[in-house]
Amino acid sequence: MVTRGLWNLQINGILTSDAKSIQVCLPCVAGKWFRYCHPQARTSSPGDEATFQKIKQLQEAKNKPDGWEEVSFPSPPHSVFRIKLAEVHEAPDLSFESLLQKASRPLERTLNLTSGKQTEHIVSGDLEINFDAPTPLNELQFRFFTDFIFQWRFYIDDHTLWQYPSTLLNTLVIAVLRLAAWDLEITHEDIDSRVELPIGFRSVPGWDSPETHIFWFHGFLVVICDTLDTNSSVTAAVLRAKTLLNGYSRVSQKARLILVSLRHVQFVELSPEFVGRSEVLPLVVNTSAEQCSPGFRALTHVLSSSCWKESLAHRERWGINMPPEIFDMILRALTPRDILSFCRSSLAVERWYYSSVPQFGDFRVRHFDSSVPCCGQLDAMDAAVCCSLCYVWKHTKCIGLACTPPGRRYICPDCHEKKDRQCLVPGGINETSGRKWRGPGCRIRVAGHPKILELRLSLPTHLRPERRLLGTLDRAPSLFINYAIRFGGAFSGLAYGLDEDLCQTENS
């Protein structure tokens, strides 16, 4: 009997299983994970004896079987129980009930730990960062973040896979940072056959990630942490950063840190005189597939504006005066990687890069539902206030305020009523947004024409195998893919198409 399904192998590992995946370790593949899917065999569940017979055969094999692909971490996610392979290999009874008695329950353990941590006090600090009003680029970043969380919710919801330290944790964190810094590439043409949709249990985040849990990113020292919801965890992260900085022969007078745990993010400023810390902000929460979190809103301002960056003005030396039109043409002609390198070393280029919507061409955002949800209009922002808890901007006129609060300190009604209490529990994202309509896409204008930028969840209609038999009888929308987002050339899971804006058409 052939066992169909996804399998993961690693030396000195353990067996992790649910109805969709089996994870197996073999001594012939030291330190690497592999998986295999037999496309035609029937599916056997973990309770089927054939599943464990297959495991014993794999353990006795001397070499990795043909057809297995290497992956960076176990996939698919949603592990339910774990069993030591020796117990499977030596067990006289391969029934599911017998083996389950010796299994551990990592998901239940994570639920218990998470529930306990949510009652602890969140650390607050004395570092104030004055965020500017949102930009058209920020609107797209907020959209991309919620879409990214939705696409990869299977991995994020399974906390056992990305518990610190893990390769998956680094992979997810660097993706969030890249979206916040617009450190990405946008593919425009010939992409229908090169994107891997739909994103599901078989999909694996394939972009590169840092090998260590502390690294430099766009001038900031990023420290990936286990947790940030206690004072001791924050202190431990700061000490790790200090140890690294003390190892440099020349240390600047001030260092800026980004502490991130996937659940939270915090900004820290180190100097010889003091350590300034911002509040700990929620980064990925149960509702992150529907609305942007406060932590990601703060990350976009920190990484894609000058609100907390060290000025590069003293390094700016242009030998000639260049007309703005020529300057704009040169920058638009550069490749994404070149323009990113250029903007890190030039204040003028950085201002140009983040004040536009780079890589999209003749593309204009015309509605800002994520940035200014009160009316969706990015105008009269001098008469708008930003909630000091969720970082959402709203016009005073829209929310009925007679004037701007002193110091612009404002807490919106949702935060007052604690409707949006930020937490992340196993399975929370899929339970919150998996079966819901997530609303329309971003309303934009391309070459003067109103369009809606919609997330594509599957390949265009003409590339779907199940529709090829219909031929000319298939009247489903084409759903072409116009843009794909990539990290270092690897598909991010985000692909978008341009749909007609029916509301705009009816109004006109």
Quick: pLDDT tens for 176-191. 999 999 999 998 765 5
Sign of CA dihedral 355, 346, 315, 254: positive
pLDDT tens sequence across 283-339: 999 999 999 999 999 999 999 988 887 766 666 777 777 787 888 888 888 888 888
The kind and range of the H/E element at 177 are: helix 167-181
Are 145 and 292 contacting, i.e. CB atoms less than 8 angstroms apart? yes
pLDDT at 339: 83
Length of the chain, in residues: 508
Q: How many CB atoms lie within 10 A of CB 291?
A: 19
pTM over 0.85: no
pLDDT at 267: 95
CA end-to-end distance (rounded Å), the chain: 63
Hunting for tokens 């929308």 — which residue is that? 477
Is beta strand 275-277 parallel, antiparallel or unpaired with respect to 264-270? antiparallel
Residues of the chain scoring pLDDT < 50: 1-6, 9-30, 79-80, 105-124, 420, 505-508
pLDDT at 115: 39
What is the Cα–Cα distance from 63 to 266, expressed in whole angstroms? 46
- Residue 6's region, left for phi above 0, alpha for psi from -120 to 50, else beta, is beta
Is beta strand 264-270 parallel, antiparallel or unpaired with respect to 255-260? antiparallel
In the chain, where are the structural domains located? Answer: 6-104, 121-365
Concatenating the DSSP letter of every residue in 282-312 gives: E-S-TTTTTS--HHHHHHHHHHHSSSSSPP-
Q: Which amino acid is at 439?
A: G
